[in-house]
Amino acid sequence: MSHKYNISLVTGDGIGPEISESALNVLEAINDNFSLSLEIKKLEAGDTALKNTGKALPDETFEAIKNSDACLKAPVGESAKDVIVYLRRMLDLYANIRPAISYPNMPSLRDDVNLVIVRENTEDLYTGEEFDIGDAAVAMRIISEKASKRIANYAFTMANQREMKKKVTCVHKSNVMKKTDGLFARTCSKVANDFPGVKFEEMYVDACAMNLIRQPQSFDVIVTTNLFGDILSDESAQVVGGLGMAPAANIGDNFGLFEPVHGAAFDIAGKHIANPTSFILSIKMMLEWLGNKHGDQKCIEIGQKLESVIYDLAKNNIKTKDTGGDKTTIEFTKEIISRL
């Protein structure tokens, strides 16, 4: 029996409200077509919220997110640090999961890419610990054994469950940052001993950046630190067609927040040409996470159905302008709903 889920939807800035409307329409269609009970609460956060309330993440928004079963977040503008970085830390969403998968008829480098970047989400330079010393600016790079161990465990567990190449690539730069990245690499190597069925390799971040272009099909699960993961995941998204195709999940032990990888794209806001695919695929990731957490097979199957619809649209060359098609945001959303 399927559960009832309370979903918080942060509508964001720029193209955020447009793709949030797409997401809402898809969620309502899922409720209608599959008798799933998803109760959606729209929330405000980001630049608009900062202007209206004085806070990028109003207290009532944060409380509503905490009290929901999962959160869908559209992109926000310049206040992103005060929204998503804060949420990741306060809710301890330590694993940032960014898949990169080839879809048909996309401007991708290859048609056989299926990789996931597992990015540590709470430490590194993103803690915001910066200060001035004389005429120099200094940033603290914090890497702990605890955070490194749990993200490594997450990556190896995922490699086992994916049943693809069963390989984890630990990406770091320990030849230069011997203390911080040295700790991360050593910890991942220790965790690898607990997963004898998963192949383990290490790769410097510059080599990984090159190999994502040269041979992206060789990767399975990449585990890395916060900053490197942020950069490499944008690169891997472009490898398979662009940020419009790239979903992301922020996962902790008790909560999940799901969002498109791309930004608020103020330059195309209001033109109704934004690609909602990454947000729709984020819904797929949310449904699978909810299903696994609550033992709800129906939720998992609906998530898989949603992904198959996106694949079918790409196969039939039904696309938005950013990927070489001619569909508006609304038209593309209607195509999705008609196939559910």
Identify the CA nearest to 147 among candidates 226, 261, 70, 218: 226
Mean pLDDT on 241-256 = 95
What CATH number should be reported for the domain whose range is 1-102+241-340?
A: 3.40.718.10
Catalytic annotation, residues: 126, 173, 206, 230, 234
Confidence (pLDDT) at 81: 86
Ramachandran angles phi, psi of 79, nearest 5°: -90, 20
Reported as a single tens digit per residue, the pLDDT across 289-340 is: 999 999 999 999 999 999 999 999 999 999 999 888 999 999 999 999 999 9
Confidence (pLDDT) at 3: 80
Mean pLDDT on 28-33 = 96
Provide the b/e sequence for 188-227 (b: ≥16 CB within 10 Å): beebbeebeebebebbbbeebbeebeeebeebbbbbbbbb
Q: In the chain, what percentage of residues exceed pLDDT 90?
A: 94
Helices (H) and strands (E) in the chain, counts: 12, 12
Reported as a single tens digit per residue, the pLDDT across 95-113 is: 999 999 999 999 999 999 9
59: which residues sit within 8 A by CB, 6+ positions away?
Answer: none
Confidence of residue 284 (pLDDT cuts 50, 70, 90): very high
Mean pLDDT on 24-53 = 95
Q: 214 near 110, Cβ under 8 Å?
A: no
Q: What top-level class would CATH report for the domain 121-239? A: alpha beta
Confidence (pLDDT) at 2: 61
pLDDT at 66 over 60: yes
The Cα 115–Cα 98 span in angstroms is: 9
Identify the CA nearest to 148 among candidates 132, 172, 177: 172
Kindly report, as residue ranges, where domains of CATH 3.40.718.10 are found in the chain: 1-102+241-340
The Cα 187–Cα 149 span in angstroms is: 6
The Cα 158–Cα 161 span in angstroms is: 5
Quote the radius of gyration of the chain (alpha carbons, Å). 20
pLDDT at 53 over 60: yes
pLDDT at 1 over 60: no
Kindly report, as residue ranges, where domains of CATH 3.40.50.2300 are found in the chain: 121-239
Q: What is the DSSP letter of 56?
A: S
Q: In the chain, what percentage of residues exceed pLDDT 70?
A: 99
Positive or negative CA dihedral for 246, 244, 26, 60?
positive
Q: What is the mean pLDDT of the chain?
A: 96
Confidence (pLDDT) at 285: 98
Reported as a single tens digit per residue, the pLDDT across 184-202 is: 999 999 999 999 999 999 9
Reported as a single tens digit per residue, the pLDDT across 5-21 is: 999 999 999 999 999 99
